Amino acid sequence: MQTTTRVAIIGGGVVGCSVLYHLTKLGWADVMLLERSELTSGSTWHAAGGFHTLNGDTNMAALQGYTIKLYRELEKLTGLSCGLHHVGAVTLADNQDRFDMLVAERAKHRYMGLETTIIGPEEIAKIAPVTNVEGVIGGLYDPLDGHLDPSGTTHAYAKAARMGGATIETNCKVSETNQRPDGTWNVVTDKGTIHAEHVVNAAGLWAREVGAMANIYFPLLPMEHQYLITEEVPEIAAIADAGGEHPGVTDLSGESYLRQESRGLCIGFYEQRCRPWAVNGTPWNFGQELLPDDFDKIEDSIAFAYKRFPALERSGIKSVIHGPFTFAPDGNPLVGPVPGMRNYWSACAVMAGFSQGGGVGLSLAQWMVEGEPERDVFAMDCARFGKWVTSGYTIPKVIENYQRRFSVTFPNEELPAARGVRKTPMYETFNQMGAVWGADFGLEVPNYFAKGNEPGFETPSFRRSNAWSAIAREVNAVRSSVGINEVHNFSKFLITGQNSRSWLDRIMAGRIPEPGRLALNPMLSHKGRLIGDFTVSCISEEKFQLTASYASQNFHHRWFTQNIDEGVHIENISDRRNGFQIAGPRAVEVLQECTDFKVDSLKFLDLIEITVGSTDCLVQRVSYTGDQGFEIYCDVMAQQSLWNTLWTAGQPYGMTPFGMRAMMSLRLDRFFGSWMSEFSPDYTAAETGLDRFISFKKNADFIGRPVAEAERASPPERQLVVFEVDALEADIVSYEPVFINDEVMGYCTSGGFSHHSKKSIAFALVPRASVTDDLTVEIEILGQRRKAKRILEQLL
């Protein structure tokens, strides 16, 4: 057996083989896959082989589209059949919320170039005749959907990889992964030890065990899953005899997916009475075997399916497939460089290997070979979970995700499982004040505060929610007097050491401020993509605080450590430093009540370390709400004390606590973009206007500079523009298509209702060539095209 390799991929399921193939495709031929048994020996061999593009995350949907289109290419390349059946599929909606969701998905597909259509019950009955359309409002038809042969497809990936120079070692179990001091790996197998520069964990059902070999906890859990194959169904046999094939049907309310299998049907369920499998670890002796049939747990689902697909009731069951496959807490894969590790990569928790495996393989291979994936893959980045994730979090979240697989996902929805795992010291105080909570990177954050008769639960909706007036009240309080909230939604990093400034000059694209000042700073990748929008605060020449998105702290920390310099020390202090933001016309007076320092001597973007009440704080004159305001940071142990000081001082001024919903409304007036909406690795600084914070004057070769310079010389084709939308009862969320002269020319990055200006606002990327001061467009919201007019003047 070969004993050295550039990459050792552990696991020969569809995902490992896809990663192997894509590495060779991008030019790395010295790559090796190690499989403890034969290829497909985990979840892969018993998959139903269905594939589809539908995914709530647009980038995931695009990667699913890539995966599906890849199969023909693989067949051509290898001469092997993937057993493709591009029969199309329809997803059914039998209530308004489900229908709204499908219509919103269809809208996103417009600019993605996916040819989906919304069809009515009659059309559904025509193209999918085994469906009883009683009660069905409509459906989303996707001609790309279909099914394939799982084993044939995996072997096609494997053959394509071998053709590119890769080696596959089967019956070769990895028992240890030991890192050498130089960051490379000794991969110990029962056939000997392999020295690999990189390790990829693609061990599927055993990803947890393989991760533990390197002391890594992967938040994933296998779930049992069952599908049934019927005997011949006369209606299907008739279609087959006529040379046709019945399309797939996903019934959201029945939580089932159905398709033709030979002359019968295949139907699988995401049942509510679901069960995790091998919670404490996948046995090594689990082979190509199935779990015992279990009709009890799918009894209700079957009863429902009999009504939706009456032919099922008349046909006998030929076989039952019941097997395990893995899920992460949010159902998306865990992909990328594992934070805190060198040369260790994850390709785990891929719950839909035949929809997603190609995209996962492509993205990971790009990351390894080119340094970054071509698009924003945060939705599947393993850095989206922090060290705080334990099995106590993973298990209930995975169960919740399985049960909600076919549920409607609302933009304002907060999911109930595994809540309260992380709280700031303000939790009880805010709870008593009526906080209605959301979760951000596991942390409880107030969305708004319910006063009097205001609702203590925000109804999930695509339309304006029942929290509307509570949010309006909070916005009004900030704009007219003073509001207070925590700065928990920021990550905080402390940068110290003699080379801090020069390091920041290289890592950040903007100007690094002098002591006592702060500056907004885009952070760019080598390809010039936006990978952060930071506030850089210079406390002293060798001490800086960086703040950015709380949820992206692992993502950013990983980048910092990958690009560290000598003489720089980086600490993630996000959970050790917290504090408050006070904002509004009375904010200066409130803060003045709490300190001897002359508060109004602080200019915009100044900072100072002073004592507020009895607490030592870092005070910054800046506010994301767009008002006069301050961010006041302190040690978390002193946070309650700081609260008492500020809250007491604020009472005569009518100080009001406000939550994230009000904050996201307030930012609209100033046209402030937000991270992962306007600012994400999908975009460059020049596309989103953040290039105004790039310092081209600075004498530093900052990462991404060549791309930024090139865009300065020749501006990119897209431009971020702000619109006032003639919206009715629903506002912009994201990815709604923008029509110019009846053609889809762009899409929204975010938006919402500005309670201050009483306008519905959209941020959208449109072709630069089309941008005029009075540009008028149409934006599709819940299936309706609404007029939108560009606005140039901020609304404050």
Ligand X SMILES: Cc1cc2nc3c(=O)[nH]c(=O)nc-3n(C[C@H](O)[C@H](O)[C@H](O)COP(=O)(O)OP(=O)(O)OC[C@H]3O[C@@H](n4cnc5c(N)ncnc54)[C@H](O)[C@@H]3O)c2cc1C
Interface ranges with ligand X (CB under 6 A): 10-16, 34-37, 41-44, 46-51, 173-174, 202-206, 210, 225, 227, 321, 323-325, 350-355
Least Å from the CB of residue 31 to ligand X: 15
Residue 202: HSE in the Cβ half-sphere, 13 Å Cα cutoff: 32
Instruction: Tell me whether residue 286 is exposed, middle or buried, using C-beta atoms within 10 angstroms of its C-beta: 0 to 12, 13 to 18, 19 or more.
Output: middle
Q: Which residue, 62 or 512, is less far from ligand X as judged by CB?
A: 62
When the beta carbons of 36 and 756 are compared against ligand X, the nearer one is: 36
Closer of 354 and 753 to ligand X (Cβ): 354
The CA-CA-CA angle for residues 456, 450, 455, to 5°, reads 35
Please list the residues that pair with 697 across neighbouring strands.
none
DSSP string across 561-599: HHT--TT-EEEE-TTTEEEEEEESTTHHHHHHTT-SS-G
CB of 266 to ligand X, least distance (A): 9
Give residue 135's Cα distance to chain centre. 33
* Closer Cβ to ligand X, 348 or 685, answer by number: 348
Sign, CA dihedral 215-216-219-222, equals negative
Give me the least distance between CB of 462 and ligand X, in Å please. Answer: 27
Six-digit token string for 635: 């040690």
Nearer to ligand X (CB atom), residue 28 or residue 227: 227
Q: How far is the CB of 52 from ligand X (least distance, A)?
A: 8
Nearest residue (CB) to ligand X, 9 versus 530 = 9
Instruction: Find the shortest distance in angstroms from Cβ 314 to ligand X.
Output: 24
Instruction: Provide the β-strand partners of residue 437.
Output: 446
User: E-assigned strands of 152-263?
Assistant: 167-169, 174-179, 185-189, 192-201, 221-230, 248-251, 256-261
Please provide the DSSP assignment of 404-433 as one string. TTTS---TT----TTTTSB--TTHHHHHHT
- C-alpha closest to that of 167 among 341, 311, 45, 23: 23
Tell me phi and psi for residue 235, to 5 degrees.
Answer: -60, -40
The 3-state DSSP class for residue 790 equals strand
Minimum CB distance to ligand X, residue 322 (Å): 7
Helices and strands in the chain, H and E counts: 19, 37
Instruction: Kindly state the smallest distance separating residue 210's Cβ from ligand X, in Å.
Output: 5
Give CA angle at 128 (127, 132), nearest 5°: 130
Residue 141's H or E segment, with its range, is strand 138-142
* Closer residue to ligand X, CB minimum distance, 123 or 245: 245
Between 44 and 628, CB nearer to ligand X: 44
* Least Cβ distance, residue 315 to ligand X (angstroms): 20
Q: Side chain identity at 219, as an amino acid letter?
A: P
Smallest gap from Cβ 204 to ligand X, in A, equals 2
Least distance CB 347 / ligand X (angstroms): 7
Nearer to ligand X, 347 or 509 (CB): 347
Q: Using CA atoms, how far apart are residues 551 and 661, in angstroms rounded to an integer?
A: 16
Shortest approach of ligand X to residue 668 CB, angstroms?
39
Closest to ligand X by CB, 82 or 508: 82
For ligand X, give the closer residue by CB, 49 or 139: 49
Contacts of 173 (CB under 8 A, 6+ apart): 34, 36, 189, 190, 284
